[in-house]
Chains A and B, each alone.
Chain A
Amino acid sequence: MSIDSMFVHKMWDDHELAKMVDGGVPFPMLSDAGGKVGKLFGVYNEAAGVENRGRFIIDPDGVVQGYEVLTPPVGRNVLESIRQVQAFQLVRKTKGAEATPSGWRPGKLTLKPGPDLVGNVWKEWKTSMAFD
């Protein structure tokens, strides 16, 4: 979503993005002329008249589980967004019985919060697991 019109979105997709992605962008490219939606989400930049680079993860109940906001020159890490969605999906599937520690990826160790784990995380989770 940006403040550009849907017509400009079409031109960008036709003339540039379709050369990077086969068939063009598969998802909706939304128009927020005037920044009303951006203001709702707190990412509209009044001084510049554009949206900051905000990314929101919204779960199936419509609840915001996480967000990230960057200034224009630095792009997002798509794999990190996907990793976060996978983590939130796991937490949701286990109804919160499992939590994903720092550095978690699908297949890696999860933690099961409870009385026995208090003060004992060090026995199960090592700092190196945040970096491997």
Chain B
Amino acid sequence: MAEELPVGCARPTGGPVGEAVPETAKETIAPIKEEMQMIHVGEKAPDFVAPGYQKGKFINVKLSDYLGKWVLLCFYPGDFTFV
């Protein structure tokens, strides 16, 4: 029988049976693993390209195309996640 999921602002994820329940199910976040480093203020942002959607069009965005402008880059857990 399928179990009803608690709904919160984190996206629920699955995994192999027998693995510990993902932390997201409890709305807490595990510490970031050490191999991933936080970037440093005062240093260049790493350049990237990413596909996206804007006003009816699918686009490809490159961060360095915005040189000369101020950029607010926002990450969020997922579409339709309430907050």
Contact = CB atoms under 8 A, between A and B. Distances in A.
Contact of B43 (A47, A63, A74): A63
Contact of A42 (B22, B38, B53): B38
Contacts of B44: 61-64
Contact residues on B (Cβ < 8 Å of other chain), bracket: 35 or more
A32 B56 CA distance: 19
B45 A62 contact: yes
A98 interface: no
A75 B72 contact: no
Interface residue tally on A, bucketed by range? 35 or more
Given A28-B59, A42-B37, A62-B63, A48 B13 contact: yes
Given A9-B52, A30-B51, A48-B30, A40 B46 contact: yes
Interface of B: 8-11, 13, 22-24, 27-30, 32-33, 36-48, 50-55, 58-59, 61, 63-64, 66-81, 83
13 contacts: A1-B50, A2-B79, A23-B55, A25-B54, A26-B54, A32-B75, A44-B36, A48-B10, A57-B70, A58-B72, A60-B70, A64-B41, A64-B44
